[in-house]
Amino acid sequence: MTLPDKKTLADYEQLKEKINYHNRLYYVDDHPEISDAEYDRLFDRLLEIEKHYPELVTPDSPSQRVGAEPSKKFEPVRHRLPMLSLQKVTTVEEFAEFDRRVHEALEIKEDITYITEPKLDGLAVELIYEKGLFVLGATRGDGVTGENITANLRTIRNIPLKLSKQAARDYPLLEVRGEVIMRKSAFEKLNHKLLEQGFSPLANTRNGAAGSLRQLDPKITASRPLLFFAYGISHTNLKGLPDQKTTFDFLIKEGFLTNEHIRLLKGIDKTEKEFTRLTEIRAELDYDIDGMVVKVNNFAWQEILGQISRAPRWAVAWKFKAETAESVIQNVEFSVGRTGVITPIAKLKPTRVSGVTVSNASLHNEDELKRLDVHLGDTVIIRRAGEVIPEVLEVVIAERPANSHRVKYPLKCPSCGEKIIRLEGEAAHRCLNPACPAQIEGRLIHFASKSGFDIEGLGDKLARQLIKEKLVSEPADLFFLKKEQLLPLELMADKKAQNLIEAIARSRKADLPRIINALGIIGVGETAARALAEYFGSFKKLMTADRETLEHIPGIGNVIANNIVSFFTVDSNRRMIEKMKQGGVVFPDYVSVKTEGRLAGKNFVITGTLSQPRNYFKKLIEDNGGKVSATVSGNTDFVLMGVDPGSKFDKAKKLGITIIDENELRKMI
């Protein structure tokens, strides 16, 4: 074992301090001082030292956020003090009754000082620090026993791995409690990426946070945009921390992120006004909340008030009126995606919720079906998760019909009849038959989509006809179609057939990122396809790349790297690529034309109908160094607006973001 010299040791400790300092500026204070490149330089130097001197690595090293080895299961953890649930109130009258009980129990007449904060819709966790070091993290579980998810929590960048020397000295054992969430904007980007990669989207931000934290592989958790908001500590008798407000001040000082809408309020009237304020701004927040938590601020008073069962008498959750609706499950269908994933879809009695008529809702997977205990004919509570994806919140058991039957997951693929399986580590069931008609249809539609070969006129209906008439059995067959083969198809006139043949001819000259995306490699969407094209420059180099090389490309990682290598080792895939070449596909080399000096560092959002498809403008912006996001936020620099803009235009106006048209964009580049 080689020991580091004093200078290396000093450099190492200084690097840890610097990286932790910049992590706090970026993830907690939202005020970075250095560029991403400079941060990466510091981090690479840290990793270099640790590679040479592995004995230096301690649990508080920033490198430990990357993710440990996958776990086989999560071990149970018993909380030293229970993580209590909160009683709910939903009306002014119910909150007034809570206030009355507090006064009565404390035997005082003066106004109570409450501390309020938004009730975040995420996953409650506990972080345990011993002598200032983060040593264990657990889910709330049933309040008494949770699950050990320490390795996953370490990957969340805004969780301090080490506290100050004073905190370590004053509080040798400190249990910090809070909520892990996903911001709405980050959730939408993640779902867009999952859809790009051929995966099912997440249902909502709460399930996104909970599912990400319960991954057996911490590297997956590390790739998810999670944040931890601290809301308290387990002990209320610590020296120097007499109340909730002082505790928040202490947590902020120690580098924890706390909510910006925490308020210290005296009396019931001011507390009611704060609830009204949060209700009004709820839709504008970049995270989901479902109410407001109200706590008696003074810890000594909390001790006097005590608890009933598993809920404290000194706090309540004042819940918003839910934007939900009731519907009835008329049927459950099982859809087969292009990657073979089987997804249960609830067919609902059409119902209005949040201003939209909903008739379908995803039930995601077998685990969700079992959790909800879905029966045909069930009355269910639904909401539009994140105001987009219809979601079944719960089943109203009391209204279940007497003759209803539990919905069972199929044992065979609904499309081809082959046996379906659930791979280890996955929530989804898959059909592994590459000749499955539903998968062929999905692959064909993806292959011809705007982000693939962009074959105009080839939609769902025509894809089904081509497969049914055995004109196409795999996407490469498209390049051998003749006009006379198309004419007998339903609604296929001479002009339409000619247009399709011409669109296929144009598509043979697709650029390399589109070709890579069109292949439908699991996990490789538009973003990853462009990264691969930029890195290798040629399709031949990509085909022969090894896992180690692929894993080092930003945005790829070990799972996608394995998928890429596996794809190119399958004989049928290699034959299809040869067939594409025989059909005239060029497979051109790729040279990035990104210009750093034009739109570099600028974030764009596109809304409305433009003169060209949105992907055209997305590529134009990205080729000139800009970034395109799906949602408008405080980080947006410009909104590119076309005809009939949607809600993004309204939000941009409210935030004072610059709105431009196509001509203005072209002038900028």
pLDDT attached to residue 445: 93
Tell me the pLDDT tens digit for each residue of 210-246. 888 888 888 888 889 999 999 999 988 899 999 999 9
Task: Write down which residue in 319, 345, 360 finishes a domain.
Answer: 319
Please indicate, yes or no, if residue 79 is contained in any of the structural domains: no
Selected residue with higher pLDDT from 508 and 39: 508
pLDDT for residue 1 is more than 50: yes
CA–CA distance, 311 with 428 (Å, rounded to integer) = 36
- Does residue 193 sit in the same domain as residue 243? yes
- Does residue 565 sit in the same domain as residue 522? yes
CATH number, domain of 15, equals: 1.10.287.610
Among candidate residues 436, 443, 444, the one with its CA nearest the CA of residue 462 = 444
- Does residue 139 sit in the same domain as residue 228? yes
Are 274 and 253 in contact, with CB atoms under 8 Å apart?
A: no
pLDDT for residue 144 is more than 90: no
CA–CA distance, 38 with 156 (Å, rounded to integer) = 20
Longest pairwise C-alpha distance within the chain = 91
- Does residue 339 sit in the same domain as residue 270? no
Please indicate, yes or no, if residue 62 is contained in any of the structural domains: no
* pLDDT band at residue 479 using 50, 70 and 90 as cut-offs: very high
CATH number, domain of 637, equals: 3.40.50.10190
- Does residue 233 sit in the same domain as residue 355? no
- Least confident range from 149-158, 333-342, 422-431: namely 422-431
Residue 75 DSSP code = P
- Does residue 539 sit in the same domain as residue 566? yes
Q: Please pick, among 119, 184, 619, 648, the residue that the annotation labels catalytic.
A: 119
Residue 2 DSSP code = P
Please indicate, yes or no, if residue 394 is contained in any of the structural domains: yes
Please indicate, yes or no, if residue 601 is contained in any of the structural domains: yes
| 405-408, long-range: CB < 8 A, 24+ apart | 405/375, 405/376, 406/373, 406/374, 406/375, 407/332, 407/344, 407/369, 407/374, 407/375, 407/376
pLDDT attached to residue 649: 83
Domain count, the chain: 6
Please indicate, yes or no, if residue 304 is contained in any of the structural domains: yes
Selected residue with higher pLDDT from 368 and 268: 268
Percent of the chain with pLDDT over 70: 94
Task: Write down which residue in 507, 522, 539 finishes a domain.
Answer: 507
- Does residue 272 sit in the same domain as residue 145? yes
Percent of the chain with pLDDT over 90: 49
Are 245 and 211 in contact, with CB atoms under 8 Å apart?
A: no
User: Mean pLDDT over residues 470-480, rounded?
Assistant: 94
- Does residue 195 sit in the same domain as residue 335? no
CA–CA distance, 186 with 588 (Å, rounded to integer) = 34
pLDDT for residue 595 is more than 50: no
Among candidate residues 349, 296, 294, the one with its CA nearest the CA of residue 325 = 349
Residue range(s) defining the domain that contains residue 545: 512-582
User: How many alpha carbons fall within 13 Å on the CB side of residue 492?
Assistant: 21
pLDDT attached to residue 386: 45
- Does residue 559 sit in the same domain as residue 490? no
- Does residue 238 sit in the same domain as residue 288? yes
Q: Is 651 a catalytic residue?
A: no
Query: What is the radius of gyration, based on Cα positions, of the chain?
Result: 28
One-letter amino acid at 574 equals R
| 559-563, long-range: CB < 8 A, 24+ apart | 559/220, 559/523, 560/197, 560/521, 560/522, 560/523, 560/524, 560/528, 563/521, 563/522, 563/523, 563/524
The 3 state secondary structure assigned to 167-199 is HHHHCCEEEEEEEEEECHHHHHHHHHHHHHCCC
CATH number, domain of 458, equals: 1.10.150.20
Please indicate, yes or no, if residue 430 is contained in any of the structural domains: no
- Does residue 315 sit in the same domain as residue 332? no
Q: Please state the pTM of the whole predicted model.
A: 0.57
- Does residue 107 sit in the same domain as residue 187? yes
CATH number, domain of 389, equals: 2.40.50.140
Task: Write down which residue in 268, 288, 319 finishes a domain.
Answer: 319
User: Mean pLDDT over residues 361-384, rounded?
Assistant: 88
- Least confident range from 41-45, 298-302, 412-416: namely 41-45
Please indicate, yes or no, if residue 131 is contained in any of the structural domains: yes
Selected residue with higher pLDDT from 354 and 282: 282
Are 161 and 24 in contact, with CB atoms under 8 Å apart?
A: no
- Helix (H) / strand (E) element for 550: namely helix 547-551
* pLDDT band at residue 551 using 50, 70 and 90 as cut-offs: confident
Please indicate, yes or no, if residue 413 is contained in any of the structural domains: no
Residue 191, classified by CB atoms within 10 Å of its CB into exposed (0-12), middle (13-18) or buried (19+), is buried
The rounded mean pLDDT for the chain is 87
